[in-house]
Structure 1
Amino acid sequence: SHLSQSVDAVRAGDRGRAGALALSAYLDGFEPIEPALGIRDRTLLERIEGLMGEYRAAVQGGEGAERLSARVQVIGEVLDDAEAALSPNAGSAATTFLGAATILLREGLEALLIVVAMIAFVRKSERMEVMPYVHAGWFAALAAGLITWALATWVIGISGASRELTEGFGSVFAAVVLLSVGIWMHGKAQADEWQRYIRAKMSKALSGRSAWFLFGLAFIVVYREVFETILFYAALWNQGNGWPIVAGGLSACVALAVIAWAMLRFSRSLPIGKFFAYSSWLMAVLTVVLAGKGISALQEAGIIGIAPMPSVPRFSVLGLFPTAQTIAAQLIMLAALAVGFALNRRRA
């Protein structure tokens, strides 16, 4: 295997080749089965990701061949567990249904929160002329997702590196944009600030640049989730049980639609100040979450190094991963949010 070869490379004194082999073991060996394993046993998936990340860090950190060999043995044992979890006998129609529903809910909720906040903002600001740009953004993302699925199924294969890079750069870009949006919304939470904003905007239409910004943000946040969901669903589809997949996906769509309806209904009854205050905190939380997820994906693609922090728990839903780089990215975002919010309060 690539992992055993990487140990041999370390013994030969070639750490660079050992690191490349360790990365290939993840991207070419484990990444293709990751979507299917995430459905069957997410805890096992996260354990394998953590062990392989720690192994790559150990290779680059100068750990000896014997200790690396012991790590490879442990990884081999958990990969055997993964193979057992992925056996045809380990799955059923019920687990497929739950997997399909859970995946779409988990991946779709982040994008839904952002898009619903954008729609509510356009309504609150009474600038309905730009609403088509928001809807066009998420609709174009869904269409691009279908094209991606067709290409991945019949034309080309999507490599592990491509998947991680798409998720990583998409998440980091969205985090940076949401950082500025969150700070801006927090500044408008004061009634006087909002009234000044309205008076300034009433005299002129929202610029074309702002409208296309809304389109781009809606497209990015939805497509990164659609891209991830497609890969999971493709892995499920290859295992059979087509109808449970369809039923699970439709159930999740209904749940997301209900959530969107409830959020929009709630936002209409909110005073404008509270709406912006709540929205700014929502954007702040998503900024920190996406920063962690983005850096983690870029680490898995080999773009960013890995410095393990074993004392930090892994909680992927919140973008919390036990590495110094992901924690640093989230702390930077928290610091930027704190400074931005403090400046807003000082101006008010």
Structure 2
Amino acid sequence: MLAPFLIMLREGLEAALIVGVIASYLRQTGRDGWLPAIWIGVLLAVAASFAVGAALEFASAEFPQKTQELFEALVGLVAASLLTGMVFWMRKAARTIASDLRHSVDEAFATGSGAWGLVAMAFFAVAREGLESIFFLLAIVQQSPGPGAALGALAGVAVSVAVGYAIFHGGARIDLRRFFRWTGVLILIVAAGLLAGVVRQLHEAGLWNLLQTLAYDLTGVLPVSSPVGAVLAGLFNYHDAPTVGEAAVYVAFLAVTLFLLLRPHAPAPASQAATPVQPARVRP
């Protein structure tokens, strides 16, 4: 339940920031009448995300057992890839996203695309986060069935909406750079667990039979069925008896991605200095 909450909180806040920057800029430039185009794009993106999720779930129900395992492995791989891409995209884009979005709004009006341009901007911003969320939730539900994932996801969306509202209308101040940095660390740990699960599912599908000896066995110390084990499994996809292949993928992925995420940013040239993400009263 904790992992879906964390992912949906971050995904929802990213979408809220992007949409909020566009909406705030329209207000600042006296274009309030174009705001409905933004909400149309948001609603279309939400509907498209749900449609993709329903189609994938319906299709997977028709697969035989081994094909089902392969499908789950592919969903887990896509989910881990999208989560990793999300983390590094925001690391790179956070310093310039506000100015880039404002430039895109001005360009939409300059080229005459107007409403359609705004609809497209909002649609692609929210659809990107929505599709990432759909693949992630499918992977989590397939590896950990039960109502916890759905409840955690709904709670994450609710909190992200509340935080977004507080930022844009209530004057709340959040250190967004630090927020995205440390939630990025947790999300990479979740992605590592998904990739370890992919190795397990490929073995169950009969496609991977290497490195199948146990790396360690904690079933007598910290089983997944215990309260702490259940929490670790829900948050980090913890497994009490992983194979060498699963453990190797987990450790190698984290070693590379955490190094790349936590290394200092290269200083931007003065000519490319850009506005950080700071719609309304957000402190970067």
Q: Say which structure is richer in helix.
A: 1
Relative contact order, CA 8 A, sep 6+: which one is greater? 2
Q: TM-score, normalised by structure 2?
A: 0.48
Larger Rg belongs to: 1
